[in-house]
Amino acid sequence: MKLQELASALLITHIHGNADTEITGIEADSRKIKPGDLFLCIPGLTVDGHDYAPKAIALGASALVTERVLDLAVPQLVVKDARYAMAALSAHFYGYPSKELKLIGITGTNGKTTSTYLLEQILRDQGFTTGLMGTIQMKIGDAYFEMERTTQESVDLQRSFRSMCEVGTDYCIMEVSSHALELGRVKGIHFHSGIFTNLSQDHLDYHKTMEAYAAAKGLLFSRLGNGFSGNSKDRQYAILNADDAASATFERLTSAQVITYGIEQPCDVRATDIRITAKGTAFKLVSFAGEMFFRMKLVGKFNVYNALGSIAAALAEGISLEAIRESLESIAVVDGRMEVVDEGQDYLVLVDYAHTPDGLENALSTVREFAEGKVITVFGCGGDRDRTKRPMMGKVTASYSDYLYVTSDNPRTENPDAILQDIVPGLAEVNYPENNYELIPDRKKAIQKAIDGAGPKDVILIAGKGHETYQDIMGVKHDFDDRLVAKAAIKGRMQ
């Protein structure tokens, strides 16, 4: 595509240099430039992409998008806002692929990944070709890719959507993080439907206040449904959790048709008669499409919420309740979410991804409900992330646990001991006895100790890392998988 043609996606631009320059790719990271690419210079929060333009040119970039003319010998498309331009130009370059897919975005503090897996399974079982995008991985056709982040940068997103179109994808189910919404990664993307899981504290390092965090999530819904067509195929849906106060705001923001789900409040898709055991969850579904009993292998009341959001979305797509039930009942586990580590031991070991106060409250209240012995928790808090959630996570964990091992969870560039010290005031707040916890920065040692000390019927919850296979220390990702470490410790104890 010629630079001139690409520039037509924006009204106010200025081309400095040859407008007929051929662009064969589009990229915002100088480290990924290939010859012929257009390099987008994005002023970031940590560095300014304009400083990397010489490196991009050295690697073969044929033109730049800049916010000011740089003294460099390549054509430049000068724009007002490079981040906005990145979203608009990449959509144009890849031919607006989100319009060719039925894209269902899922946002909320907890439950996004789980919900994407549930809904994707239901749709796949119906014979649809599905795409998936989120924290654990991206799926395009039958190929799986590792993800750097939960929601990709706009240029990568558009490229991924185009690849999904090329393999005949009908539905793409994706997690939409608050960072992505705030940073405009999903600007101009056409969503078919949006699902809201819940809102509780996280990421205040970035959003600063809960109001700003909620407003970021709201962006997904304010963009839905703007333009009725009368054609039921084009109809857009906002699927909202009736038991979460933020839903009322999102309902006001959206023009999409609202479907509500929940447990406590009256709503369109509701679960009653809920039973929770260590082996699964059963409930009666009462919905606008009828009533039915569900028996899922997924553990925890929070997974009933995740199921309800997915059921509502699937019903909106015209899938029968019976088919939805069959799919949901077939799912054994979502990678790293309440995953059992079973080596035949007489205590239960669960690996879970709870890494917020609310996530921990949900995971631990579930464990409390079925634990016959003590509840022992191993957890930590991520470095370079919301510090104010640390004592809150300590408090919640202490409230539900008989014994605690406070340890490291991706300290990143922070001092691991200092992170642990930020958690301790939360334990003191509920007068947690000093004899009931240990601070062990080495996560492997903490897991080993928890396993060595477990008695029959005890439950050990290893929280925070779930599917992760690394421990990030000073920017270096060291191999670390809670499930493998726990497995080895259980076996070690048996010998």
With CB atoms as reference, the residue minimizing the distance to ligand API is 382
DSSP single-letter state for residue 453: T
Number of residues that bind ligand API (CB under 6 A): 9
Name which of 25 and 411 has its Cβ closer to ligand API. Answer: 411
Binding characters for Mg ion, 60-99, by CB under 5 A (x = yes): ----------------------------------------
**Nearest residue to ligand UAG on Cβ basis:** 44
Which H/E stretch holds residue 364?
helix 357-370
Mark 137-176 with x for binding to Mg ion (rule: CB under 5 A) and - for no binding.
--------------------------------------x-
- Residue 290 main-chain phi, psi, to 5 deg: 125, -175
Angle 444-448-404 from CA coordinates, rounded to 5°: 90
Q: How far is the CB of 389 from ligand UAG (least distance, A)?
A: 12
Is residue 448 helix, strand or coil? helix
165: part of which helix (H) or strand (E)? Answer: helix 154-166
Which parts of this chain interact with ligand UAG (CB under 6 A)? 28-31, 42, 44-47, 49, 52, 149-151, 153, 177-180, 183, 206
In the bound state with ligand API, the residue whose beta carbon lies nearer, of 262 and 464, is 464
Closest contact distance (angstroms) between CB of 300 and ligand ATP is 7
305 lies in the binding site for ligand ATP (CB under 6 A): yes
Does 411 appear as a known binding residue?
yes
Q: How many whole angstroms from its chain centre is CA 83?
A: 22
Would you say 382 or 391 has its CB closer to ligand ATP? 382
Radius of gyration of the chain (CA): 24
Sorted by sequence, the CB contacts under 8 Å of residue 438 that are 6+ apart come out as 404, 405, 406, 446, 449
Interface with ligand API (CB under 6 A), residue from 409, 414, 458, 482: 409
Asked if residue 177 belongs to a known ligand binding site, the reply is yes
Which helix (H) or strand (E) segment is 416 a member of? helix 416-429
Contacts of residue 87, defined as CB under 8 A and 6 or more positions apart, other chains included, come to 154, 184, 185, 186, 187, 188
Residue 108 is assigned to a ligand binding site: yes
Cβ neighbours of 340 (radius 10 Å)? 14
Per CB under 6 A, which of residues 308..337 are in contact with ligand API?
Answer: none
- CB atoms under 10 Å from CB of 69, counted, come to 12
Q: Encode burial over 320-334: b for 16+ CB neighbours within 10 A, e otherwise.
A: ebeebbebbeebeeb
CB 294, min distance to ligand ATP, A: 16
Return the residue of 110, 113, 247, 448 that touches Mg ion, per CB under 5 A: 113
State yes or no: 75 annotated in a binding site: no
Provide the minimum distance between the beta carbon of 176 and ligand API in the complex, in angstroms, as a whole number: 13
Candidate segments 334-342, 449-457, 464-472, 482-490, binder of ligand API by CB under 6 A: 464-472
Query: Which position among 159, 192, 223, 355 is part of the footprint of ligand API (CB under 6 A)?
Result: 355
CB 381 within 8 A of CB 396: no
> How many whole angstroms separate alpha carbon 116 and alpha carbon 66?
36
Q: Pairing mode, if any, of strands 290-296 and 339-340?
A: unpaired
Q: Is residue 192 close enough to count as binding ligand API by CB under 6 A?
A: no
- Measured in degrees and rounded to the nearest 5, phi and psi for residue 414 equal -90, 160
Residue 163, annotated as binding a ligand: no
CA dihedral 115, 121, 124, 129 (to 10 degrees): 50
DSSP characters over 101-152:
SEEEEEESSSSHHHHHHHHHHHHHHTT--EEEESSS-EEETTEEE--SSSS-
**Using rule CB under 6 A, residue 363 touches ligand ATP:** yes
What the block records as the tokens of 78 is 């000068």
With contacts defined by CB under 6 A, name the span among 7-15, 211-219, 463-471, 480-488 that binds ligand API: 463-471
Q: Nearer Cβ to Mg ion, position 113 or 281?
A: 113
438-467: contacts with ligand ATP (CB under 6 A) = 466
Does 277 carry a binding-site annotation? no
- Residue 336 annotated as binding site: no
410 binds ligand API (CB under 6 A): yes
Give contact residues for ligand API (rule: CB under 6 A): 150, 355, 382, 385, 409-410, 464-465, 468
Q: Which residues are documented as binding site?
A: 30, 108-114, 150-151, 177, 185, 385, 409-412, 464, 468
Q: Give the residue numbers of the binding site for meso-2,6-diaminopimelate.
A: 385, 409-412, 464, 468
Q: Which residues form the interface with ligand ATP (CB under 6 A)?
A: 108, 110-114, 135, 150, 175, 197-198, 302, 305-306, 337, 352-354, 358-359, 362-363, 466
